[in-house]
Amino acid sequence: MLSCFSTRLQNTLCSNHIPRAPVRRILVQRRLMGSAIDAAAAGDPNNAYIDRTLTVHGAQEGSLKGLKFAAKDLFDVAGHRTGFGNPVWLDTHPPATRTAPAVQTLLDAGATLYGKTHMDELAYSLNGENAHYGTPVNPAAPGRIPGGSSSGSAVAVAAGDVPLALGSDTGGSVRVPASYCGLLGIRPTWGRISLEGLRPLAPSFDTVGWFAKDPGVLRAVGAVLLDPATRGSPLTSLRRCMVARDAFALAEPATAQALREVISGPSSTVPSGAATAAVAHKLRELLGGEPVEVDVAAPLAAQGLGALTDWVAVFRVCQAFEVWSEHGSWVSANDPRFGPGTRERFTMAAAITKEELASADAQRSLIRAHLHSLLGSDGVLLLPTAPGPAPFINAPPALVDQWRSRLISLTSLAGLAGLPQLTLPLARVRSSMQGEEGQGPAEEEGQQGLLPVGLSLIGPPGSDEALLELAEQLMAA
C-alpha cells in the first residue's frame, strides 16, 4: 500500500498539478515512516539499529565477560557490510574481510556484540537525523534529537538495550549524544585507540569513543581499549581545576547555572541541592580546592583567535579538507543524494583550497600549543558539553545553524588539540530553544520535564585513565 501511495505521489509530482516541494516533504515523511515501522517490527522501537540481529559472541573468559555492546555502523565486522549511514555507501562496498581492532579487542575481552547502530551520513553531522533511515528516538527527551553522528549507539545505551556502545568522535559525535541522552561518554586522546577498520571522516580528528550509564563500565572498557604505551605518566595526578568562563558564556543561561552549581555547589534550595553539593564537594576534594576561572581563548587574541567562536572556522576548514580528501572521489562518482545539512557540508568541503588549509593548520598549531600549555600535566578544564539540552527534531534551519556554531565552539577544543574529553550527566534543565512550530518550555511543562545536560572534563594528552577514574569517583558522590 505504501509503495502504491509513493508511486501515485511521484506521478502527481511529475504532472506539476501541485507544488513540488510539499510533495517531496511527503515522500521523505513516508520513507521515514516506513523506516520506523520496519524498526518496530524488528524489535527496535527506538530505531537505534541498522542491524539488530547481528551477533558476534566474545571470548569465554576476560575482564568484560558477559558484557553486551553495540557498535556504530562505521566499524567493520568480518562478513558484514559497513553502511556508514548512507544506503549508496552500503550498496557500493563489499562485506568486510576483517573485524575492526576496536571491536575485536572488546570481543577478545569477553564482551559480545549485539547489533550495529544507526548514524548520521558518513558521520558528518551532530544531529542524529538521517534522511534515509530516520531519527533514533531519544529516550531521555522524546521529540528531540538524540545527537550525532553516533546517534543509534547513544540511544541503544539510553534505552537500556546494552550497557555499552561504541561510537566515533571527530567533532563531538560521542560527547554531544551523551549530553543529549543523559549518558557518560568519552572521546579519548587522539591516537590512543586504533582507527583501523573504521570508516574515516577526518583522520587527524577521528577517535574511537564509547557510551555507558555505569562509570565502572566506562572505565573498564577504557582499561581494555586504551593503548598503555601512549598513556601519560601514571605518577602524575590531575590536581588543578579550571572553569572555562568563555565556554560557559556560550551556554543557555539555565544550563550554565545548573552546571556551575555542580562545580561550586547550589546557590539556592533546589530538589537536587544535596546531590549537587556532594558532587561539588567531591570535585574540590579531588582537584585541589576551588576551581580557577579562565578565559580559554583570550590569550590568542593577537592572532585573531581571542574567542572560542573564532576557533570554529579553524576546525571547519581543517576538518572539511580532510573529509573531501577521504571521500570526494566516491561522492563525485556515486552521487549519494545526501540529506539536508550533510549535502551542504560536502559542498562546502569540496571548495576548501590548500591555501585555506595551510592558514587554518597554522592556527590549529597555535591552539594546540596553547591548550597543552594551559593544561600542563595535571590540569582539568571544565565546560558545558553542549550549549543546552537536545534541540527539537526538525528545528528551523536558521536555529540549527546558530546552535551548531555554538556547539562546535565548545566541542572543537579537544579535537583541535587531540585531547581527551569526558562528559558526565550531572544536571537537568528546561530548554529555551524553540522548535519547528514554536514549541518551547511551556509545552514541555508536565510532559518531558527536565532535560539532561552534560558537564565536560578535558585533560592533558594521555590522561584518559585519570579522567575515567575521576568520573567514577564523581558519579559516586
Active-site residue, selected from the candidate residues 35, 72, 151, 412: 72
Q: Around Cβ 428, how many Cβ atoms within 10 Å?
A: 18
Question: Would you say 413 and 458 are in contact if contact means Cβ atoms under 8 Å apart?
Answer: yes
The Cα–Cα gap between 38 and 44 comes to 8
Q: Is 151 an active-site residue? A: no
Q: Which residue, chain included where needed, has cell 549535502? A: 343
Q: Which residue, chain included where needed, has cell 590569550? A: 299
What cell does 29 get?
515523511
Element (H, E) at 466: helix 464-475
Q: Is 72 an active-site residue? A: yes
Residue spans of alpha helices (H) in 337-394: 342-350, 354-375
The DSSP output letter for 83 is -
Active-site residue, selected from the candidate residues 125, 149, 179, 377: 149
Count of residues for the chain?
477
The Cα–Cα gap between 208 and 403 comes to 25
Hey, CA dihedral for 103, 109, 114, 119, is it positive or negative?
A: negative
Name, in order, each residue with C-beta under 8 angstroms of 288's C-beta and a sequence gap of 6 or more: 239, 240, 241
Output Rg (C-alpha) for the chain, integer angstroms: 22
Active-site residue, selected from the candidate residues 35, 173, 409, 463: 173
Residue type for 223, please?
A: A
The Cα–Cα gap between 370 and 380 comes to 14
Alpha-carbon dihedral 63, 72, 419, 222, rounded to 10 degrees: 0
The Cα–Cα gap between 129 and 201 comes to 17
Q: Is 150 an active-site residue? A: no
Q: Which residue, chain included where needed, has cell 579522567? A: 467
- DSSP string spanning 260-321? HHHHH--SS--TTHHHHHHHHHHHHHHTTSSPEEE-SSGGGGGGT--SHHHHHHHHHHHHHH
Catalytic residue numbers, as ranges: 72, 149, 173
